[in-house]
Structure 1
Amino acid sequence: MFDAEESWKLLHKKAFPRVNTPDLKIDLELERLGKEMVSKCGGLPLAIIVLAGLLARRPKIDEWRRTCQNLNLHMSGESFEQDGGIHGVLALSYYDLPYQLKPCFLYLGNFPEDQKISARRLYQLWAAEGIISLEGNRGEETAMMERGERYLHELAQRYMVQVQLEETTGRIKSCRFHDLMRDTCLSKAKEENFLKTVSPQHLHQSMHCSTSATATSMRTVRRLSITVDNEVQNYFSTDDKSFQHVRSALFFPIQTGREGTEYPLPLFQGLCNNFAMLRVLHLEKFTFVEILPKAIGNLVYLRYLSLRHSHFQKLSSSVGNLKYLQTLDLRVNFFSYLTLPNTIQKLQNLRNLYLPPSHQHTYKLDLSPLSHLEILKNFDTQVSPFRDLFKLTKLQKLSAVLSLESYEMEEMIKHLNLRSGRLRETSFRIYYRFHSEKEVNILKLLSGCPHLRKLDLIGHITKLPEHHSFSQSLTKLTLRKSGLEEDPMVILQKLPKLFTLSLRGNAFIGKEMCCSPQGFPLLKTLKLQGLPNLESWRVETGALPNLVHLEIDECKKLEMVPEGLIYLTKIQEVMIINMPENFQNRLQEVQREEYYKVQFRKNFDTEKISKIKFNMRISGPMFGGLLQTIYPSTVPKEWKML
């Protein structure tokens, strides 16, 4: 807690970011009003900062007088003796919001305490609920994103939410609540009957009560946020009709085990039958039966459906009934190996489609009719024809797995480059051998796509393109099985925006590697995995200035940790896996040096892997292909396809 003087100093700093400009002067009256208001914050920094966020938008004396009067009037009408007025100050920040921001703020109460909330997901939920409109003269996704980000940015400017920015773009990546601000949000949401939250601790008094008042309340509920334990069936019965007016249902499991919370079939069918007016259904990290039942098709008004990180192996064709769906997130558990129905092509209002990371491709999945798609994740050319992408003319963000012939690759790259004005971001995982000069030229075209953010190359590469051939937007690069004989660092260290680099599974087969001064100016994560011939790695002074995480895995001939690591002031963790004894001994010597502050982790946590439940029936080579993505050194040689 701050004393009176410290409280005033903090308010002064946050409320007057332009204090030195000539058009803004702080006189004694302004200071008196500020000290009077800040005294009601009880010395709590959060309350002081929120009050400052409100006052910063009203720099004139008469505006401060009005705010002080409102604060006094507001607090006199409610009891805040127990918290010293803290919640009164926080509540005033809510009442001060413009009308369009109030539902945006209240909606954040849906999410559990301390949860990091994806900004893009939040915008999609706001759009599905009609809190922000999809209408716009420009691209609808662009209009929705810009409006959503503008609203969230204003909440952050008022210090009502904490935001994290994307390092590469500067845009808001995620947000979260302070506990006290979340309490204020839930209090106002309850007052305005905006949202009902349910947790195991309050289950007996929240969901099932025989009083007529509670029954009447339930009939007016429009949004439910339910945190559930392993006994999901305790939350509502399969024939409960009191939820027929609910428009939004977000379920959050308490992760007490490693396998996720089981969602029984009768309960899921009851949800689909009794929540018939739903616009939003969020069911993440649950385990369902093998086939998600056809009852899902009863929710014909759905705009948003997320089953991310859940486990099931087949999606019912009835999903094609969801004609109003805008967002469909099927990024299920990686080992679910999901089969999708072609009825997805009926969802012609779909704007955001997140496909599973591992598909069952018994037939081609046709996505070409989805002409409104703006975000497409995990598109796989072994599952869907690559030319389907040419028909998705509104596509702005694409993540794809490509297994194509050279002429197909050329055709696709040329098409994507022609549409670079609309397409803002692409990420590729590519299975291909770049042997001949023609194939290396294709790699140049591919790596130079102006909107390329992430690139994962799996297969032999005779020679890397020069650094100027790579996209200036590239932030993450993974090379696997490349068989490069020349030191790749010579080229890769010159990529200006590279944040993450992984060299895995014989990506480099040479003996020496060097990171030169000023090399890798922004790199934060470096992973060296399965480089069998690497004997010497030098890190020269001035290289890797922003490195935070280093992982060295199964580089059996590497004799010592680079001495240059001691000059990397930002490094926090070095992870050592499957390395020989002489390397471990050298590592212990480095750790004994007093000036070395890095945390070393020498052992991979194999216990976590041993307890994973695999519900799959797939061949050895196919299983190996999946493991290569997670932990390549575990894949038997006979399973390696390239």
Structure 2
Amino acid sequence: MVKACGGLPLAVIVLGGTLATKQNLKEWESVNNNVRAYLGRGKSIMEEGNLHKILALSYNDLPYKLKPCFLYLSRYEEDYDIDTEELDKLWMAEGLISTKDRIGEESMMDVAERCLGELVTRCMVQGKAPADDVMLSYIGRSFASCRLHDLMRDLCLLKAKEENFLLPVSCHDDGILDEHVDISSLASNDHTQVYRLVIRFSEKSVRKFVPLVEKRNTRYLRSVVLMASGVQLKEGRVDKIMKSQINQFKMLRVLAVEGFDHLRLPKAIGKLIHLRYLSLRGSVFLRLPSSLGNLRYLQTLDFRDCPRCRIPDVLWKMRQLRYLYLPDAYGTHKLGKLKLNLFCKKLRLKGLDKLEILENFCPLSCSSQDISTLKNLRVLSAVVDMDFDEHFPTGIHRLMSNSDHARSTSLSIVSRRDSAATAALTKENLSDVVGQCFSRRNLQVLEVKGPMANFPKYDAQYMYASLVDMTLTEIEIEEDPMKTLERLPNLRSLLLAYGSFLGKEMRCKATGFGQLRFFRLFGLTNLVKWIVDEGAMPNLSVLTINCCPKLEIVPNGLRFIKTLKELIVVSMPERFTNRIQAVNGADQGQDFDKVSHIPSIIVNGCRIFDP
């Protein structure tokens, strides 16, 4: 079989992936016979079309349930890193996986990851482990993203077309350019049933494409994806598609309208009663109709990256909702002067008993008390702005108490109060609240922005091991925070940014930061000396030092961190960078021996050492 692959790595890998699923010699012999039959006796894989036959064999060998999961990947562009969490939800919405596929106590996300894992095992899909995403790694997800090899994607597109599974269309200013689709095919084959349609627009192509979509037979569509990047719709072109066709979308389960400006959703969207997945991500809406509340079977609702988005108070009607992503604007620190003017009546969430993920929750726009009723909530991401919450300490305590049942919580706390009358009180409040956060057993991610009176002292009686990822920005403390931070046993990622530490000396003691993988120092303008003891940060993988102008030398303790894979130095003075690299082709700098064991050293974007 290896000989039949002709030494082509992709053929060997894919065939090996197929064999890896076989349990005995008889099954291997069956694959061998299939390879010979597919290629034809005596023919070489190097002959035209034979590599495709080997890849097709891997597809035909897939279990029945996995074939549509594989074909669904044809909706993504070439070399695109596919978000596996998004893919999981789409598979669920389309019914490609169901509750019947669960084994034991598996969640639907577990089922989806198991299916993706089998495609990766068969080498038909390239999976990327969540090495750089500490949260995904911490909660045990096997893959952060996945992608298709170019030739495997060609097979996926071909099979999707043969089986009339999905129609991808790329629209450019000069027409529709896609190796598998042309304008005439869209305009003529009116009787061809199209089940899934993915359209990527440019601004001028919207005008050309509208008449073609209106001629199609769209009543069998199960999935419609309309994508753009900042397309201005002053003439309402996509609005026209939506308005004219939405009554025909009676079977629709997935609708994504992403990246458009000045968009109006018609009231008729409430008639899409079979809809399971609705993404309006990255679009600017002139209005959202209250008829959204009629989507009683909706599982995923995505408003991320939707600025100035006012949501009607109808979400509580969506009893099947599992994944809710509110607009980033609901995190008030991103709104500037617009802030409270955008908030309508608080959104009610009580009754969403199946909700598992809730992102961009803000107590100003939703009731914290409703969180306690969401008994199946697994992941909560919340943003609290002290500037707009008069009862901030009480509110944050209520939010954290009500979310005790969530498995994973992410919290961003923001404050920018500058007035003398409120500054002192705000600093004290923020210090107290951060101390409370350290005591929460389910808080994994904490982001704090704003001045604090002092940093919490470590106390083993109430500080638990839950924090995994922490970002501290502009907290303006003078006492070394390492004394507390280095004792958090599960901390894997730490960022100190923009004046978080105003002192001159910082020290990481031996045995401190036992699980830390990623450490970033950014904008610590007063830092002069950083001491790293031998034994500190024994699992550190990536260290970034950015814009710390007074830092004199690289810590000697770095030489003892054998796990360090990458050192990134940005916007540092020459006296610092010269110590870790050769100057004008001369011998290495004075501190090069401290970092010579690191496989990758990057200074201002240039890789200076990569053995």
Task: Give the structure-1-normalised TM-score.
Answer: 0.76
**Out of 312, 315, 325, which is 1:344 matched to?**
315
* Range with greater deviation from structure 2 (338-347 or 289-298): 289-298
Alignment CA distance shift 1:473-1:175 (3 Å)? farther
**Out of 585, 597, 603, which is 1:600 matched to?**
603
Q: Does structure 2 retain, via aligned residues, the 8 Å contact 1:135–1:143?
A: no
Deviation at 1:369, TM superposition (A): 3.4
Deviation at 1:132, TM superposition (A): 0.9
Alignment CA distance shift 1:210-1:365 (3 Å)? closer
Quote the RMSD (CA, aligned, Å): 3.4
Q: Deviations over 1:341-383 (max 9, x none)?
A: 2123332221110011113324322222333211100000111
Deviation at 1:86, TM superposition (A): 1.7
Q: For 1:375, give the aligned amino acid.
A: I
Alignment CA distance shift 1:65-1:504 (3 Å)? closer
Q: How many residues align?
A: 546
Q: Distance in 2 between matches of 1:61 and 1:561?
A: 58
3-state secondary structure, aligned to 1:391: coil
Deviation at 1:541, TM superposition (A): 4.2
Q: Deviations over 1:65-87 (max 9, x none)?
A: 22211222233499977446222
Q: Distance in 2 between matches of 1:270 and 1:97?
A: 37
Deviation at 1:111, TM superposition (A): 1.0
Q: Distance in 2 between matches of 1:139 and 1:531?
A: 50
Q: Does structure 2 retain, via aligned residues, the 8 Å contact 1:127–1:134?
A: no
Deviation at 1:126, TM superposition (A): 0.8
Alignment CA distance shift 1:210-1:67 (3 Å)? closer
Which residue is equivalent to 2:92?
A: 127
Which residue is equivalent to 2:351?
A: 369
Q: Distance in 1 between matches of 2:515 and 2:194?
A: 49
Q: Does 1:184 align with 2:155?
A: yes
Which residue is equivalent to 2:366?
A: 384
3-state secondary structure, aligned to 2:189: helix
Deviation at 1:564, TM superposition (A): 4.8
Where does 1:232-631 land on structure 2 (aligned, <5 Å)?
232-237=206-211, 239-253=214-228, 260-263=230-233, 265-275=236-246, 276-277=249-250, 278-284=252-258, 286-289=259-262, 292-294=265-267, 296-312=269-285, 314-333=287-306, 336-359=307-330, 360-403=342-385, 405-417=392-404, 419=405, 423-431=406-414, 443-459=434-450, 460-466=452-458, 468=460, 469-544=462-537, 545-553=539-547, 555=548, 557-562=550-555, 564=557, 570-577=564-571, 583-592=573-582, 593=588, 595=592, 598-601=601-604
Q: Deviations over 1:280-335 (max 9, x none)?
A: 12233x232065554544544321111223334643333223222110111025xx
Q: Does 1:40 align with 2:4?
A: yes
Q: Deviations over 1:467-522 (max 9, x none)?
A: 74544342210123434332111221233332321223443232210123443344
Deviation at 1:165, TM superposition (A): 2.3
Alignment CA distance shift 1:591-1:512 (3 Å)? same
Deviation at 1:443, TM superposition (A): 4.2
Q: Does structure 1 retain, via aligned residues, the 8 Å contact 2:478–2:501?
A: yes
Q: For 2:11, give the aligned amino acid.
A: A
3-state secondary structure, aligned to 1:184: helix
Alignment CA distance shift 1:289-1:408 (3 Å)? closer
Which residue is equivalent to 2:190?
A: 215
Q: For 1:48, give the aligned amino acid.
A: V
Alignment CA distance shift 1:471-1:221 (3 Å)? farther
Structure 1 unpaired stretches of 5+: 1-36, 604-642
Q: For 1:54, give the aligned amino acid.
A: T
Q: Distance in 1 between matches of 2:506 and 2:194?
A: 63
Q: Deviations over 1:217-274 (max 9, x none)?
A: 2xx1101223333323333426334223211122344x6xxxx334552323323531
Q: Distance in 2 between matches of 1:156 and 1:467?
A: 44
Q: Does 1:226 align with 2:199?
A: yes
Where does 1:27-106 land on structure 2 (aligned, <5 Å)?
37-76=1-40, 82-83=47-48, 85-106=50-71
Q: Distance in 2 between matches of 1:180 and 1:205?
A: 14
* Range with greater deviation from structure 2 (359-368 or 522-531): 522-531
Q: Distance in 1 between matches of 2:219 and 2:186?
A: 19
Alignment CA distance shift 1:371-1:147 (3 Å)? same
How many percent identity over aligned positions? 37
Which residue is equivalent to 2:418?
A: none
Q: Does structure 2 retain, via aligned residues, the 8 Å contact 1:509–1:533?
A: yes
Q: Distance in 1 between matches of 2:480 and 2:426?
A: 17
Q: Distance in 1 between matches of 2:98 and 2:458?
A: 45
Q: For 1:449, give the aligned amino acid.
A: R
Alignment CA distance shift 1:291-1:67 (3 Å)? closer
Q: Distance in 1 between matches of 2:397 and 2:27?
A: 62
Q: Distance in 2 between matches of 1:119 and 1:457?
A: 28
Q: Distance in 2 between matches of 1:383 and 1:43?
A: 60
Deviation at 1:558, TM superposition (A): 3.7
Q: Does structure 2 retain, via aligned residues, the 8 Å contact 1:51–1:89?
A: yes
Alignment CA distance shift 1:368-1:551 (3 Å)? farther
Q: Distance in 1 between matches of 2:25 and 2:565?
A: 48
Q: Does structure 2 retain, via aligned residues, the 8 Å contact 1:434–1:443?
A: no
Q: Distance in 2 between matches of 1:134 and 1:117?
A: 23
Task: Give the structure-2-normalised TM-score.
Answer: 0.80
Q: For 1:511, give the aligned amino acid.
A: K
Q: Does structure 2 retain, via aligned residues, the 8 Å contact 1:513–1:536?
A: yes
Q: Distance in 2 between matches of 1:547 and 1:313?
A: 46
Deviation at 1:130, TM superposition (A): 0.7
3-state secondary structure, aligned to 1:146: helix
Q: For 2:301, give the aligned amino acid.
A: L
Deviation at 1:38, TM superposition (A): 1.8
Which residue is equivalent to 2:420?
A: none
Q: For 1:586, give the aligned amino acid.
A: F
**Out of 162, 168, 181, which is 2:138 matched to?**
168
3-state secondary structure, aligned to 1:453: strand
Alignment CA distance shift 1:525-1:212 (3 Å)? closer
Deviation at 1:57, TM superposition (A): 2.7
Alignment CA distance shift 1:280-1:601 (3 Å)? same
Deviation at 1:450, TM superposition (A): 2.6
Which residue is equivalent to 2:170?
A: 199
* Range with greater deviation from structure 2 (300-309 or 464-473): 464-473
Deviation at 1:138, TM superposition (A): 10
Deviation at 1:135, TM superposition (A): 6.2
* Range with greater deviation from structure 2 (175-184 or 366-375): 366-375
Structure 2 unpaired stretches of 5+: 131-136, 331-341, 386-390, 416-424, 583-587, 607-611
Q: For 2:261, give the aligned amino acid.
A: F
Alignment CA distance shift 1:134-1:315 (3 Å)? farther
Alignment CA distance shift 1:309-1:524 (3 Å)? farther
Alignment CA distance shift 1:209-1:435 (3 Å)? closer
